Structure 1
Amino acid sequence: MSPPRVAVIGGGVAACSLAHGLRDSLASRAVSLHVFEMGRASGGRAATRGTRDDPGLRVDHGVPAFAALTPEFGALCESLVAADVLRRCDGDGSAFGVLRSSGTFEAEDAAGAPTRYRPPVGKGMNALCDGLLGGESTLANFTPGTMVTKVEPVAAQWRLTSKGGVDLGTFDWLVVSSTGLAHPRWRTTFGGEPPLVEAAAALGDTALDATLAALAPLQSKPVTAAMLAYGSDAAAAWASLPFFKAQVEADPVLSRIVVQRVSQSLTAVVLHSTHEFARSAAHVYGATSTAARIAGAKSDAGEEGRILDAMLVAAEKRLGGLLGPAAAMRSPAWGPHLHRWGAAFPDAPLLPEGRAVVPSARVAFCGDFVEGGEGRGGSVEGAALSGLRLAKALQREIGGLCGAD
């Protein structure tokens, strides 16, 4: 008898944490897990951007580092440090702080700072999700570059179809780790009804209807990211800045600046917008973004240039006293490229934990948009804990699963 098949939509931190939580069950073939991700690789908002022009370039354009506040997540992160998947941001030059309106940088008080993690030297943040999946020895099936646009209830199973009309198979359980498939935002981004909402109307499951109704009011705070990379003398000039990640004080355009030394001759820079600025450019996704490249979301090239220029102007004003002419801000070796995180930070009301698993419909939800009681919604930690909780819940719901650590 074949094991129960679980399909997961989205390959971010929550989905990969779910796979990690089910690793013993996967090893014993008590369950089969298949993750479908729209991007080129795992990670979601914790993905690493690369380019064919320079295989050595890595840009963590969503999550450059993250904090661990709970014992459970801290223990998981320490296990990943031991496996060379992560490193601690302590004493490694990972300075955090605030870029004041005066143009000066004020480092945070290290004594009161949370424990943070980032990728090891030579790796990008996608190492986190790759590590959670198990690396080369992963037992989960992972299919990148695939946008699921149709889910159908068929004889107590779920049939999935891709944007290109490809039948992706039938599954016993459907896990949604990214809200788009089930949220009204799908209508404005891609057009038409959200696939799971459309399927639920045909299914007539009152518990699923209640969960979708609870999810619908969820709001998200968007962020627009401008990505650049600098070589030679400019790389050294940017790397000489006194911070790795700086919050930008009282700026209408920029919320934070991240500087990542990729190698001795290459430095990546990511400018993150404020939520308000991103909302003013809601129709621009970035020509090279996954939403535009895979899903067909429209992006106006003229508007994209205007947005990038506004972000660069803001960076020039704030960094003018810290960067010399050698930084060549307007002459990057790569970029600038724009990427819109339309659902960067989920906002209240989050999906109640009690609504996250719907056994009658064999549908479940995990992600930083699920309220888990730790107060970590909207964070990498919240996403990971949600995936781990769901692993335990699925073990209870699907008979014969072995226990996870």
Structure 2
Amino acid sequence: MTSCDCDLAVVGAGLAGTTLLASLRLAGWQGSAMVIEVGRGPGGRASTRLRRDNPHWRLDHGAPVLHLQSGGGGALADLLQKLEAMGAISADTSESVCVGLDGLQSLDTTSAGFDAGGSCWRGRPTMGSVAAALLDLAGDSVIRRFGVRVQTLQASDRGWDLHDQHGQAVVNARMLVLSGNMLAHPRSLAMLGLANRPLREACAVGLDPVLDQALDRIASMRMAPRWNRMLALSAEPAEVASWPRQIVLSAAASQQWQLERLVVQPMADDSVGLVVHGLTDSVPVPMDLLSPWPSLAAAVASADDLGVMRWGAARPLDHPLPVDLQWCPKVALGFCGDWIDGPGFGRAHGAMASAVALADRIVEHDALVASGAMA
């Protein structure tokens, strides 16, 4: 299939895009939908790396867990309950510790992105399972296009025309949702080799004043990349049991070592993965940081280096998109992701909460269309 007319096209199958599709179905929305993802499967920055030479290897090389802030309820809480009932997530009770410049210290939940009163969930069996389960909730009718990069867009009277990097038609859709902002952000110029932002190119100024405001806001956002080094460790199970699941660096230690955290992940065959979340492309692993755990330091010293995964826009830093600019009604275009303003900005909570909110806007939009109140 090279093209398919549908009601809604969603670009990106990470937590935001898949949460949106699941939320629409749970709200009773009956439209047709397609999700388009450049990766080989769902997950985005909460995905899982496999190895051809080891079927037991399932390394969560992006988000290690889902941290949700306290006070959350409503549709997002209901969605989490469904995921838990499906066995796709479970409460995370593993140990997290904090390392400062002078050694171990109490965990700074604020700088670590944790909410002491919130909830923490782990994907089962992996983090990549969360987005996959959300797609299952969305239903088999959702057309899934993996390994496709949307590069150009065009808004017209018949909806949105999407094309890939080869100029081939992907889909014509009545409505469009971008769960990432690359097609709207100036960084797309260098990454895609374009002269103008694809979304700005697709819609003339004045066509939708809400979109014009949204594009201005998105252009001001700063996005920070992250580099995650993946290591395969060898150690006795008793040694692994003595290691913390996460080693989070204090703000001062993070600045000195240019790391955010180290995440230990035991595999089903007793092998062990370690993901080092770095702030620079060198992603160092300083041995003195691991001094409280001599066996872990020894395992790292003899580890197999599986390479570095670069997340180009892993963390939005500022200028979140206001929620009143999340839906552009005149061109039937929506945005969701951790870069939308609200609780959990820059985190998985923000990605999922923004998608739940956008689902309500889409349902309302279609109700207006059906009533004839919107052409």
- 2:347 is matched with 379
| Runs of at least 5 residues in structure 2 that lack an aligned partner in the other structure | 371-375
- Equivalence for 1:266: 271
Structure 2 residue aligned with 1:322: 293
1:66 corresponds to = 66
8 Å contact from structure 2 (residues 35, 145) kept in 1: yes
Q: How high is the TM-score relative to the length of structure 2? A: 0.86
Q: What are the residue-to-residue correspondences of 1:44-59 with 2, within 5 Å?
A: 44-59=44-59
Retained in 2: the 8 A contact 1:153–1:203? Answer: no
Residue pair 1:223, 1:344 contacting (<8 A) in 2 also? yes
> Is the contact made by 2:228 and 2:309 (CA closer than 8 Å) also made in structure 1?
yes
Match of 1:228 in 2: 231
Q: Retained in 1: the 8 A contact 2:6–2:34?
A: no
Answering whether residue 96 of structure 2 is matched by residue 96 of structure 1, we say yes
Alpha-carbon spacing, 1:105–1:269, altered in 2? closer, same or farther (3 Å): farther
Identity between Structure 1 and Structure 2 (%): 28
| Cα distance in 2 between the residues matched to 1:24 and 1:136 | 8
- Is the 2:160–2:173 Cα contact (8 Å) retained in structure 1? yes
Deviation at 1:376, TM superposition (A): 1.6
Q: What's the TM-score, normalizing by structure 1?
A: 0.80
Partner of 2:119: 115
Out of 130, 146, 149, the residue aligned to residue 128 of structure 1 is 130
CA gap 1:15/1:157 in 2 versus in 1, 3 angstroms: same
Aligned counterpart, 1:35: 35
Matched, 1:347 2:347: no
Q: What is the rounded CA distance, in whole Å, between the counterparts of 1:87 and 1:401 in structure 2?
A: 39
Q: CA deviation at 1:194?
A: 2.3
Out of 356, 359, 373, the position equivalent to 2:329 is 359
- Aligned-residue Cα RMSD (Å) equals 2.8
Give yes or no for contact 2:243–2:296 (8 Å, CA) kept in 1.
Answer: no
Aligned to 1:291: none
> Cα 1:97–1:210, aligned 2, differ >3 Å: closer, same or farther?
same
Q: Structure 1 residues 185 and 161 mapped into 2: Cα distance closer, same or farther (>3 Å)?
A: same
Moved more, 59-68 or 203-212: 203-212
Q: 1:111 to 1:135 in 2, by over 3 A?
A: closer
- 1:18 aligned partner: 20
* Alpha carbons 1:182, 1:212 under 8 Å: kept: yes
What SS is found at the alignment partner of 1:172? strand
Q: Indicate yes or no: 2:140 matched with 1:138.
A: yes
Q: Is the 8 A contact 2:21 2:138 kept in 1?
A: no
Deviation at 1:63, TM superposition (A): 0.8
- Using a 3 Å threshold, how does the CA distance of structure 1 residues 113 and 319 change in structure 2: closer, same or farther? farther
